[in-house]
Amino acid sequence: MSTSTAEPRLRRPAAALFGVLALAVALAAGHLAAGFAGVNASPYLAVGNGAIDLTPVWLKDFAVRTFGTYDKLVLLSGMAVVMLAVAAGAGLLSRRTPVPGLVVITGFGLVGLVAVYARPDLDAVALLAPLTSLVAGVATFAVLHRLGRREAVADGSRRTVLLAGAGAVAAAGLAGLGGQLLAGRRDAASSREAVGRLVPARTAPMIPADADFAKLGTPAFLTRNDGFYRVDTALTVPQVRAEDWSLRLHGLVEREVRYRYGDIRNRPLVERTITMTCVSNEVGGTYVSTANFVGVDLADLLDEAGVRPGAEQLLSSSVDGWTAGTPVAAALDRTRGAMLAIGMNGEPLPIEHGFPARLVIPGLYGYVSATKWVTDLEVTTWGARQAYWLKRGWGQEAPIKTQSRIDTPKGFETVSSGKVRVAGIAWAQHTGIAKVELRMDNGPWREAMLSHEVNLDTWRMWWAEFELAPGGHQVFCRAIDKSGYTQTEMRAGTVPDGATGWHSIAFTAR
């Protein structure tokens, strides 16, 4: 008579936990190694950045519209949930043998390697981060699985496994903290503080008191730095110290030039009041803001390099590899006032808005005119190079479209009947707003009162009053710019070159 003994298996909770712990150690080890190679070498962030690059335009547009500035947090959180679920599942499949778990952990590592290799802002040394992640993850899972099987065979105390698990948690925590501390050594905050006050040789004209109707419900004319809209592809805000920064200007030029931060700061600086708009701004959206920018004329830098005949595009690159293509004619047009900006609203650029330097080119949507953390300018042709968003089907020239927005009343708000004030903003950068008209409940169009015009590159505020009876109402607005163009009623989405349509809100008077 023969007997057989069933092969011992890991307990389900332990098996799932081993997969999760191996993943945690792998990611933390990769983050630690990225502290030496650059934060974007962290496999988790590299995969996240790769996901952003591969996301279809319609889905990116939906994410920005739905989640706003939290779109990247949603992406990273979703990635974390999926990865944890896969790691736990791999652990459960490895109750008898470690092979499934080792295959999944290795797969995670290979994806990280590909993601880091594909990053345009990283060199070969950065591959050490995903390699470290892969080795740490595989080793952790193998060790935990072996200890778990050993105790399952002995059918004894789980103390060794618990201690090993606690050790894995501690190792992951220390590695992650170490990676953060190493990245902190490149923190740009102290460098920004050391820049001190920026004093322009040519200041922008004073903003008159009647440039906004903030007391009537419009935004303040100048947007605070912490309230200025921000839309970019960076999962982590690049940390660039002024003392490490340089700008290379090359391509179809007579001479290649490289500028350091001191070279720019020590020039006579100019200050300009400019309204910027994101192409992702839906009709009635909030991605429009105004600030006083301080910097130097981009045309001066291009003239020093000597732009050659045939040049069409100024391809600007961010330190994280993002690119934008600007028409050379717009960059050279001194009436437009294109800038390499290093200051914003009386202080050095905030880190999240491009410190040490960014481009600001009035009248063009940000995806072709506003590269943050800019470090490279290549004068080229449209056929030779394609920028980030141009590859994804967005428009090439991208002039900002004439638009207007109602700020008060808010949509579906209840207000007192009688005299009801409607107020908002309008913009047509580099053309200027001539007037704004309102229509209440399909009545005739009425002209609104406009604020003082600061310049052609800034928004204008407006307001009007209506005598309204109790009940539901709907109001529309439209702007007419100084070229005579009347904002179109036809609704169009943001892709490929900016939204169109009249903004309207419904509200109730009681």
Domains of the chain: 12-184 (no CATH), 198-392 (3.90.420.10), 403-509 (2.60.40.650)
Check residue 1 and give its pLDDT.
42
354-413 confidence digits (pLDDT tens) = 999 999 999 999 999 999 999 999 999 999 999 999 988 899 999 999 999 999 999 999
In whole numbers, what is the pLDDT of the chain averaged over residues? 90
Q: Beta 503-509 vs 414-415: how paired, if at all?
A: parallel
**Looking at residues 61-70, what average pLDDT do you find?**
73
User: How many CA atoms are closer than 13 Å to the CA of 30, on its beta-carbon side?
Assistant: 31
- Residue 449 DSSP SS3: strand
Q: Beta 270-277 vs 288-297: how paired, if at all?
A: antiparallel
Using the predicted structure, report yes or no on whether residue 157 has a pLDDT greater than 60. Answer: no
Scanning 4-98, the segments in alpha helix (DSSP H) are 12-37, 43-54, 57-67, 71-92
**Looking at residues 6-25, what average pLDDT do you find?**
84
**Looking at residues 149-167, what average pLDDT do you find?**
60
108-129 confidence digits (pLDDT tens) = 999 999 988 888 777 888 898 8
Using the predicted structure, report yes or no on whether residue 155 has a pLDDT greater than 70. Answer: no
Using the predicted structure, report yes or no on whether residue 247 has a pLDDT greater than 60. Answer: yes
**Looking at residues 348-356, what average pLDDT do you find?**
97
User: How many CA atoms are closer than 13 Å to the CA of 357, on its beta-carbon side?
Assistant: 27
Query: Which has the closest alpha carbon to 205: 461, 462, 452, 481?
Result: 452
281: CB partners within 8 A, 6+ apart: 287, 288, 403, 494, 498, 499
Rounded Cα–Cα distance for residues 490 and 354 (Å): 35
Using the predicted structure, report yes or no on whether residue 2 has a pLDDT greater than 50. Answer: no
Rounded Cα–Cα distance for residues 128 and 33 (Å): 7
Exposed/middle/buried for 298, CB within 10 Å: 0-12, 13-18, 19+? buried
Higher-scoring residue by pLDDT: 161, 213: 213
Contact predicate 372/229, CB 8 Å: no
Check residue 402 and give its pLDDT.
98
* Helix, strand, coil shares, percent, the chain, to 5: 40, 25, 35
Structure tokens that stand for 438 in this block = 């309102």
**Looking at residues 309-319, what average pLDDT do you find?**
97
Confidence of residue 158 (pLDDT cuts 50, 70, 90): low
Contact predicate 16/127, CB 8 Å: no
**Looking at residues 239-245, what average pLDDT do you find?**
94
Using the predicted structure, report yes or no on whether residue 266 has a pLDDT greater than 80. Answer: yes
- Could you tell me what percent of the chain has a pLDDT over 90? 67
Check residue 290 and give its pLDDT.
98
Query: Which has the closest alpha carbon to 367: 298, 428, 287, 279?
Result: 279
Residue 101 per-residue DSSP state: H
Using the predicted structure, report yes or no on whether residue 163 has a pLDDT greater than 70. Answer: no
**Looking at residues 324-342, what average pLDDT do you find?**
97
Rounded Cα–Cα distance for residues 97 and 91 (Å): 10
Q: Beta 347-348 vs 358-360: how paired, if at all?
A: unpaired
Check residue 92 and give its pLDDT.
93
**Looking at residues 437-444, what average pLDDT do you find?**
96
